[in-house]
Structure 1
Amino acid sequence: MSAIKKFRESLGQTQEEFAAIIHVSKVNYSKKENGKVKFSLDEAFLISNHFNQPIEVIFGNSEISKSETS
C-alpha cells in the first residue's frame, strides 16, 4: 500500500476528496495513488499545504516526480 493511500485512509478521506485538492479527476488520482502515474511536485505541495504536513510524511520517498509539474 502506498504512503499516500495510508495517509488518506488514516484521515477517513476518499479518493474524490484528494482528487479535488489537486484538481484532477478521481480516475487520474487513482492512477497516481496506485503508482501508475507519479504525483507532480506541485500536486505534492498542494496536498502538503492543505493538510499542513511535510511531503515526506504524506508520500514517503518514491511517489513524486520532481521533473513533472501541473
Structure 2
Amino acid sequence: MADSPTGPFRMTGAYRMYNRENYQACTASAVPGQARDMTVFQDDGGTAYLVYSSEENNSLYIAKAQ
C-alpha cells in the first residue's frame, strides 16, 4: 500500500491464494496456495482478473475480481 504509484510501499497483509484440493496431482513438491508470476488483466467490459501460476509453475489460475 502506498499513497503514490511509486511508493514508498508498506505491507498490509499476506495471504495464501485459493487452491484446488488435489494440488499434489501436479507434482509431489507442490505447496498449496502458492502464487507467483502474477499479472492483472481487464477486459473490454471492465471486468478485472488476476492471473498467476502455482504448484511449482505446473498450474495457471485466472481469478475473476468480485
TM-score range, shorter chain: under 0.3
More strand by share: 2
| TM-score, length basis structure 1 | 0.27
| TM-score, length basis structure 2 | 0.27
More RCO (CA 8 Å, sep 6+):
1
More helix by share: 1
Looking at CA atoms only, which structure, 1 or 2, has the larger radius of gyration? 2
